[in-house]
Every structure is written in structure tokens, then in C-alpha cells.
């Protein structure tokens, strides 16, 4: 069982690297094509950079359309980030003081995360204005919800040996796999994490670039429309 899970982990990591390199190539090709365009090809101003950063960090476009969904989405992203940083204690040795310091916040975020995901899921299902949401989005929300719930169950009821968990995860990262922890809930949680990594949408990483290009195009079109 342990060897099969390790093999799955390496296959997922390999797929992730392949998809990432492919996406980098697509980003590079799109940037080359954008450089040949006359619209929005000017230099990036400080105001444009700040506006794009605010768009990405605070989801300003979503805020203008659906404030409740904005609150749930922003809460989800913030809690997910804190939970992710808290989990770095399983892969870093020694663990930085900042990660140790934020452990209590990570515990709180672990309870907030599934609540925000459940709210997002309900709003996506009943919202008349969100019919454009694809099954892929529902799939990702479902995986994230199950991942967060299994994490809570493992913390409250089905505790795994943290030393065994860290040895197993760090062993995979350094290509020296250790024994699989004797915890079914950890196995489920770990497989869900691998499923998320395998299907993670890479356009999220390009969000700052896309927002910046959108701001450049808006400014470029504005200059064209106002030319005399």
C-alpha cells in the first residue's frame, strides 16, 4: 500500500512539473504575441501596478458584482493560505520560528476553511447569476472541502503520529520514502492533496500577469478612444 501511494505521489509531482513547464511556455508565447500588439503595449506605471495588485489581492471585480460571494471567497483564500503555511512544519527541518508562531492561527483557519468553502458551494449552486461556473470549479471546491474536512477529522478524532507523517512526507521529497503512517484518515487526506495538486488550475498563478495586461489594455484603449 505504501509503495503504491509513493508511486502515485511521484506521478502527480511529475505531472505537476510537466504542466507547469508547459504553462510557462504558453505564457512566454502569449507575452511575445502581446509584445507585437499596439494596444496596451506601453510601459507599466506605478498606478497601474497598484491597481492590478489590488484587483488580485482583494478581488475588486468580484466585490462589485457579488459582495457575499466576495466575502466567502476572500475568507477561503486567506484561510487556505494560513493552513498551507501551517503545514510547512511537515516539510521543513528545522521549522522556522514564524511557522511555529502562526500555528494557533493555522488551527483557527482550519475551522474557517470548510465553512467558507461550504458557503461558496451553496452560493454557486443556488445563484442564478453563476450559471457560467463549470463542473471543473465544482470539482475543485468538492476536493478542497473534503481535504479540509478530513484534516479536521484527523486533528479531532483520528490523530496520526506527527513524527511518522513528517518522516513520510520529507522522505518522498528527498527521494527516500519512509514507512506509510498507520492512519487511514491520513492516507485519505494525503491522496486528496495529491488529487488537488494534479488538477490545480495554473491560471491562478498567472492572475497577476493577466490583471496587469488587462489594465494595460484598458489604458491603451482609453488613449485610442480619446485621440483627436
- HSE-CB of 56 using CA atoms within 13 angstroms: 19
Rounded distance between C-alpha atoms, residue 98 and residue 227, angstroms: 52
Q: Is 133 left (phi over 0), alpha (psi -120 to 50) or beta?
A: beta
Structure confidence at residue 39 (pLDDT): 47
Rounded distance between C-alpha atoms, residue 176 and residue 169, angstroms: 10
Task: Give the range among 20-24, 89-93, 195-199 with minimum mean pLDDT.
Answer: 20-24
* Per-residue pLDDT reduced to its tens digit, 148-159: 999 999 988 888
Structure confidence at residue 80 (pLDDT): 92
Structure confidence at residue 226 (pLDDT): 44
Please state, as a whole number, how many other Cβ atoms lie within 10 Å of the Cβ of residue 209: 16
The reply to whether CATH 3.40.50.1220 applies to domain 2-225 is no
* pTM check: above 0.85: no
Q: Is the dihedral of CA 211, 216, 220, 225 positive or negative?
A: positive
Instruction: Decide if 27 contacts 202 (C-beta within 8 A).
Output: no
Amino acid at each position: 500500500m505504501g509503495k503504491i501511494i509513493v508511486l502515485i505521489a511521484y506521478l502527480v509531482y511529475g505531472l505537476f512539473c510537466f504542466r507547469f513547464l508547459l504553462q510557462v511556455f504558453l505564457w512566454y508565447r502569449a507575452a511575445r504575441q502581446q509584445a507585437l500588439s499596439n494596444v496596451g503595449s506601453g510601459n507599466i506605471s506605478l498606478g497601474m501596478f497598484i491597481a492590478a495588485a489590488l484587483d488580485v489581492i482583494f478581488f475588486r471585480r468580484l466585490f462589485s458584482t457579488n459582495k457575499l460571494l466576495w466575502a466567502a471567497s476572500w475568507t477561503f483564500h486567506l484561510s487556505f493560505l494560513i493552513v498551507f503555511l501551517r503545514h510547512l512544519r511537515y516539510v521543513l527541518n528545522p521549522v522556522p520560528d514564524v511557522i511555529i508562531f502562526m500555528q494557533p492561527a493555522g488551527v483557527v483557519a482550519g475551522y474557517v476553511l470548510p465553512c467558507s468553502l461550504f458557503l461558496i458551494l451553496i452560493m454557486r449552486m443556488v445563484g442564478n447569476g453563476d450559471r457560467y461556473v463549470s463542473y471543473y470549479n465544482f470539482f475543485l471546491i468538492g476536493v478542497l472541502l473534503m481535504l479540509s474536512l478530513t484534516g479536521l477529522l484527523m486533528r479531532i478524532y483520528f490523530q496520526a503520529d506527527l513524527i511518522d507523517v513528517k518522516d513520510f512526507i520529507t522522505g518522498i521529497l528527498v527521494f527516500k520514502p519512509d514507512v506509510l503512517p498507520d492512519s487511514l484518515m491520513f492516507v485519505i487526506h494525503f491522496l486528496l492533496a495529491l488529487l488537488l495538486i494534479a488538477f490545480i488550475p495554473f491560471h491562478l498563478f498567472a492572475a497577476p500577469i493577466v490583471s496587469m495586461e488587462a489594465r494595460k489594455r484598458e489604458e491603451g484603449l482609453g488613449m485610442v478612444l480619446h485621440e483627436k
